[in-house]
Amino acid sequence: MKKNKPMALYKIIQQQGFGTRAYCQAMIEAGEVTVRGELCDDPDALFDLEDLSFTIQGQAWDYAPFVYVLLHKPAGYECSQKPKFHKGILSLLPANLRARDVQPVGRLDVDTTGLLLLSDDGQFIHKNISPKKNVNKVYHATCAEPITDDFIAQLKTGVLLKDEDETIAAVDARALSERVLELTLSEGKYHQVKRMVVAAGNHVMQLHRMSVGEYVLPEDLAVGEWRLI
């Protein structure tokens, strides 16, 4: 494996999204940056990138060529870099992550809550949204009407969505309570959960995503909070 060359501190800080070259140089010269626990006020000081940790204005960060974020999405936020009608999901992240051009890995509707992944790694994004990769997504849907055995059977066997030519079946479907459905899908069609539930004779009142592939929404991650993976 090819080892990365040492990099000037100001370039490291700039690459991680903390501002322009001049701003990063000024922060370093002002004594606002420590590297591996030691103060460094030389913007041109060289550091190996492997296992590099630093603090910016007292906040700890680890160097990462790509960033992976797990967010507990609230209702009322658009999964768009240029939201039109509601607040954008990126507004919940700090400025340095936004500056790295992180993007939502797939989209959740404005009123849908739960697990949302974001990254600036194109391969990671493609892996988790491509239908060919068969990445399972698990949702909890609160339904308007009681969940019946026939309803579950339709979802597992396959339902025909409006404007679609072929039936679509859930990977799994089961009732968690009288009106709460757990639905597992491997695709990501537009409004797919809601459309499938309607096609099977019910209606979604609330929708919450629990997991995407191996990534599960942590119980201790509050609504609107995020953490690095």
Asked if the structure places residue 1 within a domain, the reply is no
* Angle in degrees, CA 217, 222, 224, rounded to 5: 95
Which own/partner pairs from 125-134 qualify as long-range (CB within 8 Å, at least 24 positions apart)? 128/212, 128/213, 129/105, 129/188, 131/186, 131/187, 131/188, 134/186
The neighbouring-strand residues paired with 115 are 72
Q: Is there a single domain that holds both residue 80 and residue 17?
A: no
Q: Is there a single domain that holds both residue 207 and residue 221?
A: no
Mean pLDDT for back-to-back runs of 10 residues, the chain (229 residues): 77 89 93 93 93 89 90 94 83 88 90 95 89 89 96 94 85 96 89 92 96 94 94
Return the pLDDT at 19. 86
Return the pLDDT at 3. 60
Q: Is there a single domain that holds both residue 56 and residue 84?
A: no
Q: Is there a single domain that holds both residue 208 and residue 221?
A: no
Of 109, 111, 121, 172, the active-site residue reads 109
Return the pLDDT at 179. 97
Domain range holding 93? 68-130+217-228
Number of domains in the chain: 3
Q: Is there a single domain that holds both residue 102 and residue 202?
A: no
Return the pLDDT at 2. 52
Asked if the structure places residue 180 within a domain, the reply is yes
The answer to whether the CB of 229 falls within 8 A of the CB of 70 is: yes
The neighbouring-strand residues paired with 47 are 7
Q: Is there a single domain that holds both residue 53 and residue 113?
A: no
Residue 42 known to be catalytic? no
Q: What CATH number has the domain bearing residue 36?
A: 3.10.290.10
Q: What CATH number has the domain bearing residue 121?
A: 3.30.70.580
